[in-house]
Amino acid sequence: MEKKPQPNKTSWSAVADWYDTYLEVTPDSYQAMVIAPNLLRVLALKKGECVVDIACGQGYFTRLFADAGAVATGADISKELIATAKKRAPKIEFNATPAHKLLFAKDASVDAVTIVLAIQNIENIADVFAEAKRVLKPDGRFVLVMNHPAFRIPKRTSWGWDEATKTQYRRVDGYLSAATIPIDMHPGAAKSAQTLSYHRSLQDFFKALTKSGFAVTRLEEWISHKKSEKGPKQKAEDSARKEIPMFLMIEVSKI
């Protein structure tokens, strides 16, 4: 009998309380205003369908799946985040376990697997993709939502302003090279907890998914819902938000 994996302390454990508070008290968050409605539309969950939410954090999206009628299960390596998830939704099953060790799920038993805004915090994506394939039914779906890897790369992309043309543009200083990037969760603070972001290009994701036995069935790019305050740059800033997507959704199925 395989030994049950023991969750390790991760960088997100240090910001568990902050992340939970942010999601629960910020009605205008990207999670609430952009990702949730689009993700529920893409999944189109039917009552009783089984969904595993990998790297679920404090269970924000897992709860939405359950509210939509699915039998939702969450998994996250952070024991602190899982403890919070259990407090917020005691009737939902949450497991403190690495993303590549979903021992609570049987082979070919799940209708959908999701990883929402977390794949860029996971180093061993090949193992995670293989585990998602194992637990999915033959006609199951695997849906990933991430910060757009072409336009939202920490420390490699930024907004710029062209004064001559009065244009807001997105500057990209690097894209193809993979990178491990430390992120300060509270910039400017005397002591700021750090998390790690693993940048990968689109071809890196597609190659890893194909090697794991998946085929891409749908791809969508989602824009920010934010609006700029009135001023000389308002029109250009709002136009740039509509043209340059913030999030990428990839849906794949077993080959």
pLDDT at 186 over 90: no
Q: What is the mean pLDDT of the chain?
A: 92
pLDDT, one tens digit per residue, over 81-105 is: 999 999 999 999 999 999 999 999 9
Lowest mean pLDDT across 109-118, 182-191, 196-205, 221-230: 182-191
Cα-based angle 67, 73, 76 (whole degrees, multiple of 5): 120
Burial tier of 225 (Cβ tally within 10 Å: 0-12, 13-18, 19+) = middle
- Measured between alpha carbons, how far is 198 from 98 in angstroms, rounded to an integer? 16
**Sequence letter at residue 6:** Q
User: Domains, the chain, ranges and CATH?
Assistant: 11-149+200-229+245-254 (3.40.50.150)
Res 27: pLDDT: 82
What count of other Cβ atoms lies within 10 Å of the Cβ of residue 40? 15
Q: What is the pTM of this model?
A: 0.90
pLDDT at 1 over 60: no
Q: Please say whether the beta carbons of 51 and 73 come within 8 A.
A: yes
Strand ranges inside the chain, DSSP E: 50-54, 71-76, 93-96, 110-116, 136-147, 157-162, 167-172, 179-184, 194-199, 214-222, 247-254
Lowest model confidence (mean pLDDT) among 78-92, 94-108, 183-197, 200-214 = 183-197
H helices of the chain, where?
Answer: 16-25, 30, 36-43, 60-67, 79-88, 125-135, 202-211, 234-243
Arithmetic mean of pLDDT, 231-240: 96
**How many other C-beta atoms can be found within 10 angstroms of the C-beta atom of residue 227?**
10
